């Protein structure tokens, strides 16, 4: 059951999730646009009000690892797909 959802600040990526519930198990999870990759994708923790990551004021950080580019090459003759080579390189 989703408790809260928020967006990251566009200039620095910070986010804030208020925790107004009592003690218990929670998961902070990140999900970006299709093809984006983060590590970790989720951080489970137990909120006890004393020794948990919230009470210790510890940030839960997610690292952007990269993104995927995907698509399809359309061709009239399927047997010739093996002749096509796709490359990816930095812009000039």
The predicted-structure confidence for 51-63, as pLDDT tens digits, reads as follows 988 889 889 999 9
Interatomic CA distance for residues 23 and 48, integer angstroms: 5
Q: Which domain holds residue 91?
A: 1-92
Total domains in the chain come to 1
pLDDT of the residue at 40: 95
* pLDDT value at 38 more than 90: yes
Does residue 76 carry a pLDDT above 80?
A: no
H and E: helices and strands count for the chain: 0, 4
Query: 78 pLDDT exceeds 80?
Result: no
Q: Is this structure's pTM higher than 0.85?
A: no
Burial class (CB in 10 A: 0-12, 13-18, 19+), 52: middle
DSSP code of residue 31 = -
């Amino acid at each position: 059951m989703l408790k809260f959802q928020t967006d990251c600040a566009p200039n620095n990526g910070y986010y804030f999730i208020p925790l107004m519930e009592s003690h218990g198990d929670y998961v902070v999870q990140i999900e970006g646009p299709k093809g984006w990759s983060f590590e970790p994708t989720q951080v489970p923790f137990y909120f006890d009000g004393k020794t948990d990551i919230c009470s210790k004021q510890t940030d839960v950080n997610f690292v952007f690892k990269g993104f995927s580019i995907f698509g399809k090459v359309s061709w009239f003759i399927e047997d010739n797909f093996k002749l096509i080579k796709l490359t990816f390189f930095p812009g000039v």
